[in-house]
Amino acid sequence: MKVYTKAELNEYSLSLTYDDISLIPHEVSEIKSRSEVRTDTKFLNRKMNVPVVSSPMDTVTGIDMAKTLKEMGCIGILNRFDSSLDTFLNYPKTENTIDAVSVGLYTEEDILEKLAELGVIVCIDTANASNREVLNMCESVKKKFNVKTIVGNIAHGATLKDLVNAGADAVRIGIGGGSVCTTSVQTGIGIGQVSSVLDVFLTRERENLKIELIADGGIKSPGDVAKALALGADVVMLGRMLAGTKETPGEVIKYSDQLWKKYRGSASFGVKMKSEFIEGEETMVPYKGTVRNVINTISDGLKSALSYMNCKNLQDLRKIDAFTILSNSSYIERLPKK
């Protein structure tokens, strides 16, 4: 079995995703228990207890989700598709309970000015950050308002320097990897999330660029969170893992004696509400209860990963340079059997 470094994994002949790789404990761990390790970090000058950022999808992050995540030491990016943004702008008392807000490519300047006054992170929520209009908007927002700015999404590091030059403070990495995203099917665009994160991370290191990295899409479990961080991501962005929780927008629906909540992609018909090119789907996910349970599960899984890898904190985890590639049978062998 070959043990791959990040550089070697990036040169692998096929595009890889989280199910294709595994971390390798390659030294004796000195950590006695999970209580000895730390999962706190800093992202865009915000202190975080767990490196989780919620996706600005209309069925994931409303005001309740953003407030609860901040209370837990995570970041919720308020979606721009319904009344959440209006509510936030009209009730400034929420200023201290919400970190982050998403905006569209053509958001009015008075809204951007208000967001700057409130001191929140601005996420320019587009599907393709490697676009001149996106770069122009990022540059304008930074020059006029000097706020922390996230742009997205990119699939590799070829345009990373352009984003940095436009003033982006962080970038969302991943095109087509979301569970309700059909971009790759509809357009033929996108590569596996492991390959995406690695290429952008190694580009940042090679060119000494100052920008923070968000692994966005394809994360299904706490183990995937650990893999994404070990590959070089600063934080992970979650959609489906948070979907279906009490704090997500929308009603709980009872069907076939089970409880469900709606989950849909940002480019789905339910969001656009018009018959144009659709790059997202709608579905129902089981009701999960409070999001605090999900974040606690992620935290526990991440702490276990750190203890296995003899890492005392996330900084140590990001230094890991030992990965293996799994065969399909090897991956299946690791799944719980009923």
- Mean residue pLDDT of the chain comes to 91
23-27, 96-100, 289-293: which range is least confident on average? 96-100
pLDDT at 182: 66
Q: What is the pTM of this model?
A: 0.92
Contact (CB, 8 A) for 79 and 57: yes
- 303-312 pLDDT, tens digit each: 999 999 999 9
Burial 79-98 (b: 16+ CB within 10 A, else e): bbbeebbeebeeeeebeeeb
Task: Give Cα 199 distance to the centre of its chain.
Answer: 16
Average of per-residue pLDDT across 283-302: 96
Average of per-residue pLDDT across 173-185: 75
Looking from the CA of 187 toward its CB, the CA atoms found within 13 Å total 16
70-79, 99-108, 199-208: which range is least confident on average? 99-108
User: DSSP code of 95?
Assistant: G
pLDDT at 266: 58
Residue of 74, 123, 138, 181 with catalytic role:
181
Question: What domains are defined for the chain?
Answer: 6-24+36-244+292-321 (3.20.20.70)
pLDDT at 279: 57
- The whole-angstrom separation of Cα 268 and Cα 276 is 10
Looking from the CA of 165 toward its CB, the CA atoms found within 13 Å total 9
- 131-175 pLDDT, tens digit each: 999 999 999 999 999 999 999 899 999 999 999 999 999 999 999
pLDDT at 87 > cutoff 90 = no
Contact (CB, 8 A) for 266 and 58: yes
- 184-213 pLDDT, tens digit each: 677 778 799 999 999 999 999 999 999 999
Is 181 labeled as catalytic in the residue annotation? yes
pLDDT at 269: 40
pLDDT at 273 > cutoff 50 = no
pLDDT at 235 > cutoff 80 = yes
- The whole-angstrom separation of Cα 291 and Cα 68 is 8
